[in-house]
A and B are shown apart, each in its own frame.
Chain A
């Protein structure tokens, strides 16, 4: 029988197996973003304020997908691993926290590659014009957003009981989906909500992705700063407060 030749590979393989068997996470990270992209991309119900509504929608849905994989999927899985004492059990193996974290990061990255490999062709099929896209900048935005959301997801997962964590992550997902500036434009939100939304990682990531992919951002400089702050603060918070059992 094939046994992975290093602790990291053994753990990564286990993470991917668990992910592949978890239908709810696949629904959240792949099916919902694709459904939203197809629905809003083929209807004109969203008042985007953009000449081409796909220019608004594509970066927003990518931001949503990044949030779902980095925060919700990672957070829920880690919360249950705490609850089931999987982390405690791994704590008495030679794996170590750095390799455990590396396996988690690579799992999220692989998931995001799959998300982008599906979402971008779907957007192109829906007549999104990618000619103005600055892909390197977009990758930087995705990486920074991933760090911010992963920190937030682990911060929540590291403190709450598994069932409460599950509800909190899903609730936050829904809240940011509707009010986070990813799918519904800031201008369509009530002013106080829009002001808060612009300070959230969701709105900031969607904005910098719109800057990178279509060159039509609301306030890209500020959004980069907001996203950067979240990407520094949330991992530090998670690292300081995370309880392994």
Chain B
């Protein structure tokens, strides 16, 4: 049984400024024309974006889109071929030690010796972040926070996939971070675990931490992120707040009692309406006035309408549209 989320994420430094005092206009992560090449392969092609304190920024993209290479440069694990990166004002390579003290990282998988016990690993990581901190994160509090108290002495190799993810999150919190990179944090996690992880992430942001969330799980990202960056083929396709990205793709949904005869449609409507299923139609990126024209045409024809709805596209719709359906 997972514990109820606390009002404060205990692994997070007490020194973190309150949400109201965070400067949301100054980016804490700045990626400027970053390129990463592996031989002839250009994995990341002159990308630029920013992330801000107190926000969850979701980094999305299909496999091989360049997001992992970009994040590894930000973490100081990989060198940039060209371009600049600043994380909390630090150069991730030159100022690695100073940045590492302020940064939490959750790898997508692994990172822990299979025979190690959760409590021992968390205690080790709390000790690794000891220098320069007023106080250590408490290993037992972190274990409790991620709901592993009953499994704290079970070797890592015997934990379930979700428990391994939660332990990895606890290690990321051991630094009491101001910036945290989370790679697929809910992958393989059950429903209760997802809720706990989501609440921890949200509270981290509320306490002023900059959260960078790389994920394939678009519905999870949509639930917790404030900003979205979509990668594909080494480039950033779109960057902005979640609402801006979704608003940019307005959709229309139409359901009717009987199938429409699309050939009868006037020219200004023809071609926009897509038949998803019998009596179920949609329009993406509807231009101004199209919905009104459609409503008039339906009325004139006496079509029985079950539903005619306009709204923002889901993040998944936007993602599929931009990346050609890859995931």
Contacts and interface: CB of A to CB of B under 8 A. Distances in A.
B148 interface: no
Interface in B175-225: 175
Question: Interface centre among B77, B115, B130, by most A CB within 10 Å?
Answer: B130
Interface in B76-118: 76-77, 97, 100-101, 103, 105, 107, 109-116
Contact of A18 (B105, B116, B128, B129): B116
B127 A13 contact: yes
Nearest to B181: A92
A93 B107 CA distance: 12
Contacts of A91: 76-77
Contacts of B126: 3, 10
Given A18-B115, A86-B111, A7 B105 contact: no
A11 B124 contact: yes
Contact of A92 (B76, B120, B127): B76
Interface in A11-25: 11, 13-14, 17-18, 21-22
B111 A94 contact: no
B141 to A, nearest CB: 9
A88 interface: yes
B24 to A, nearest CB: 26
Given A85-B111, A86-B112, A89-B171, A5 B127 contact: yes
A84 B125 contact: no
Contact of A94 (B107, B123, B124, B128): B128
B130 to A, nearest CB: 6
Nearest to A23: B115
B20 interface: no
A27 to B, nearest CB: 15
B231 interface: no
B62 interface: no
Interface in A34-71: none
B107 A7 contact: no
Contacts of A88: 77, 107, 110-111
A132 interface: no
Nearest to B108: A85
Contact of B124 (A1, A5, A10, A96): A10
Interface in B133-178: 136, 138-140, 171, 175
A18 B103 CA distance: 26
Given A93-B100, A93-B129, A85 B115 contact: no
B111 A14 contact: no
B187 to A, nearest CB: 15
A4 B139 CA distance: 11
A81 interface: yes
Interface residues of A, number: 30
Contacts of B129: 7, 93-94
Nearest to A96: B97
Question: Interface centre among B103, B110, B140, by most A CB within 10 Å?
Answer: B110
B113 A84 contact: yes
A6 B120 contact: no
Contact of A17 (B110, B120, B138): B120
A13 B112 contact: no
Tier of interface size on chain B: 20 to 34
A92 B105 contact: yes
Contact of B77 (A6, A13, A92): A92
Contact of A3 (B111, B114, B136): B136
A7 B126 CA distance: 9
Contact of B107 (A2, A3, A85): A85
B75 interface: yes
A28 interface: no
A11 B238 CA distance: 42
A84 B114 contact: yes
Given A1-B140, A89-B107, A92-B103, A18 B127 contact: no
Contacts of B171: 89
A167 B127 CA distance: 34
B105 A89 contact: yes
Nearest to A86: B113
B113 A18 contact: yes
Contacts of B110: 84-86, 88-89
Interface in A79-127: 80-81, 84-86, 88-96
A6 B112 contact: no
B197 to A, nearest CB: 18
A5 B130 contact: yes
A150 B130 CA distance: 29
Contacts of B124: 4, 10-11, 13-14
Given A88-B77, A96-B97, A3 B103 contact: no
A80 B113 contact: yes
Contacts of B77: 88, 91-92
Contact of B97 (A13, A14, A94): A94
A93 B113 contact: no
13 contacts: A5-B127, A10-B123, A10-B127, A10-B128, A11-B124, A11-B127, A13-B127, A18-B115, A84-B113, A85-B107, A86-B111, A89-B105, A92-B103
Closest 4 CB pairs of A and B: A10-B127, A89-B111, A85-B110, A4-B127
